[in-house]
Amino acid sequence: MLDIIQLPKIDLHCHLDGSLPITTIEQYTRQKIEKSQICITDCCHSLTEYLTKFDIPVQCLQTYEHLENATYECILNIAKENTTYVELRFAPMLSVNQNLTCDQVLESVLSGVSKGKAKTGIDCKIITCAMRHFHLDLNMQLLDSMEKYLNKGVCALDLAGDESLFPNTLFHELFEEANHRNIPFTIHSGETGNVENIRTAVDYGAKRIGHGLALIQDPDLMQEVARKKIGVEMCPTSNLQTKAIDSFDNYPLLDFLDAGIKVSINTDNRTVSNTSMTKELQFIQNMYHDDALILQLLENAHDTKFL
């Protein structure tokens, strides 16, 4: 069997705020943090409940220094398990305040990326997240700022937040403008059972789909996703925690691969979900006992990177 620990790994779906080391959070909040405050438990009932675990980490990302150092510490943590490439995503507008513009937020994180790469050699790119509960004006402000840093450390746009409350159809103006500016994007879609969100993301021109579990409901759409070589970023641990699936017996990984879809396996939130790329790939290895499958998943991740 492959040695997953030593295997070079790629993580395409990793949230900065959901992956801050607890020691970093304690340093910034100046208080002892109980694991239950940050990490999800088995009794989580939905994505809405899962997202409450981000309140404290986001509070830690409100100064230039904290953003820079948190990014650096997160990269150090990721590099420990021989992850060689990561696309780290976060929502810059959640850190904009009277002391920080969106440009400064992006520059602080990119500075942390630069320091992390210098220390570890890891190749890290940034995906900026628009938020579903934000007014269009705020998400357009993000687009204006992130465009300046595109291909200068920032690689793509994303749409994150509570998919069950804010469907993709509400964001046609945002992605129409992203297409006009040639900004590539991924969209969290199909995490809460709504296959129409995936269809909308495909129609918008998404290069990748975050999670995408509901895709299994529509074989024709699966074929379209495969034909267009759209990557699907699956995150097994968080998918179970958010109840995107009711058990791993129903995980559609092999169905997607059999349909020719370029699926990758990712962490989503290393701290919130108490996971790592090693854990995620070891789970797949233990479940399917197929080393060729592991290598295929990593090859898919390589093929669907934002470059």
Question: Would you say 188 and 163 are in contact if contact means Cβ atoms under 8 Å apart?
Answer: yes
Please say if 191 is a catalytic residue: yes
Structure tokens at 69: 């150092």
The phi and psi torsions of 300 (rounded to 5 degrees) equal -60, -40
Residue of 68, 163, 191, 280 marked active site: 191
Q: Can you give the C-alpha Rg of the chain in angstroms? A: 18
| Catalytic residue numbers, as ranges | 191
